[in-house]
Each structure stands twice: as C-alpha cells, then as structure tokens.
Amino acid sequence: MKKLIALLALCSAFSTAWATETKLEKIQVDTSVAAVERGIDTLMGNCHNCHTLKYVKYRNLLALGIKKDKVDAWRGDQPLDAPLTGLLPDTAAMQSFGKIPPDLSLMASAREGGPSYVYAYLLGYYITPEGMPGNHIFPETKMPDALGISAATDAAQRAEIQSKARDIVSFLAWAADPHQTERQQLGYYVIGYLLVLTLMLYFVKKQIWSRLE
C-alpha cells in the first residue's frame, strides 16, 4: 500500500529523492522444495558456523520434506524441537568480528528489497584497489566473503556462486515465511470462493432491487 501511494504521488517528478538508494536487481525466488533444500545444504556449510536461525527448528526441516538422516546429522544429539542455533559462541564472535552475527530466520523479510537484497548482498563483495574486501550493498559489513565471489574470475565459477546464492535466498525466504506456499494455495480457494459468492450476492441484490418500481 505504501508503495502504491508512493507510486501514485507522482514518483517520476521527484526521482532525485531516490538517487542515493542502490538499485537492486529484482530476483525471482525459486520456492520449490528442491531449491530450498539445496539452499540449506549450502547454508549449513557456509553460514551456520556463525549465524543462528533461532525460529527454525529441526522438526520444521523434516516437515518441509528433508530426509531424516540428513537432519539427524545436522542436529547431532540435539532434540528435534531444538532451533538451529549457531556454532560460534558470542564471546568468540565479538573477538573475531566485533559484533554478534545477526540471526537469519527473518533476514529475507527484514531488509528493504527482501530476497533481492540478500542475493545482491551475497554477491556484492569485491576487492578494493588497496586489496581490502568491500561490499557494494552493505559497506559496513563485518562478514567475510563467504561464497568467494570477489575472488572468482572465470564465468563458470561466478555462475556457480550465483546459483548457490540463489539457493540460499530460496531457503531464507522459506525460513522467513514458512507458511507461504500453504497461504497462497489457500488463497486461490478463498478468492475463488469469494468471487462466486460475490457474483451470487450481486444477482441477489439485483433481483431484490428489481421489486422496486
């Protein structure tokens, strides 16, 4: 709605107001279970060492359709109801990065641009002329280039990293909104039902009002 109002209010006339904001490439999130599963595989290897996902429980991964032995390997001796807590103690994180890495459960909905932001951020790393790591999307970031995009030179390698980032985004989008698929499926039934109902109510109204001369 806010966006709608913003658009309505003659966006183009004031386009200079947006000049400071970085344009994000809008990506289509693959919500298939396969993509989400590839995403968590990558995430468990690259991100979970430092980041927590405290609102996602191992049980949720089973419900999503991930094989039990895989989930068992990840959780070790933790119960199924345990959340995906990180492996890095807070004190160690403070020593290495100067801050505690943010929880990723809601990352895909907690930034302007959502999944597109996360995707752009993961691929936003580069090496400065001074040889220091930098990030176009979030320059103040303390996170190292986890996927290694800044060091990747040949096209095949970059494409592989891009597809990895896409999978991570698929998983994070699921983690932020695990009922999305269910919600949308329900949505088609609800809207379909309401369309039929409203059409019938329209004819009821017409019929009743036709009694007036």
Which residues here bind other proteins, judged by CB under 8 A? Answer: 1-3, 5-6, 8-11, 14, 16-18, 55, 60, 105-106, 109-114, 176-179, 183-184, 186-187, 190-191, 194-195, 197-198, 201-202, 204-205, 208-209, 212
Shortest CB 191 distance to other proteins, Å = 6
* Neighbour tally for 71: CB within 10 Å: 17
Q: Residue 193 is encoded by which pair of tokens?
A: 């039902």
* Neighbour tally for 19: CB within 10 Å: 6
Per DSSP bridges, beta strands 133-135 and 53-57 are: unpaired
Shortest CB 199 distance to other proteins, Å = 8
Residue 71 one-letter amino acid: V
Q: Is 85 helix (H, G, I), strand (E, B) or coil?
A: coil
- At a CB cut-off of 8 Å and minimum separation 6, what does 37 contact? 64, 65, 66, 171
Shortest CB 138 distance to other proteins, Å = 12
Shortest CB 78 distance to other proteins, Å = 18
Considering beta carbons, is residue 42 or 105 the nearer one to other proteins? 105
Shortest CB 59 distance to other proteins, Å = 10
Rounded Cα–Cα distance for residues 98 and 91 (Å): 9
Considering beta carbons, is residue 92 or 200 the nearer one to other proteins? 200
Considering beta carbons, is residue 19 or 155 the nearer one to other proteins? 19
Considering beta carbons, is residue 87 or 191 the nearer one to other proteins? 191
Considering beta carbons, is residue 159 or 205 the nearer one to other proteins? 205
Rounded Cα–Cα distance for residues 83 and 87 (Å): 12
Q: Residue 55 is encoded by which pair of tokens?
A: 């609102």
Shortest CB 170 distance to other proteins, Å = 16
- At a CB cut-off of 8 Å and minimum separation 6, what does 24 contact? 113, 116, 117, 120, 137
Considering beta carbons, is residue 45 or 187 the nearer one to other proteins? 187
**Nearest of 157, 113, 162 to residue 138 by alpha carbon:** 113
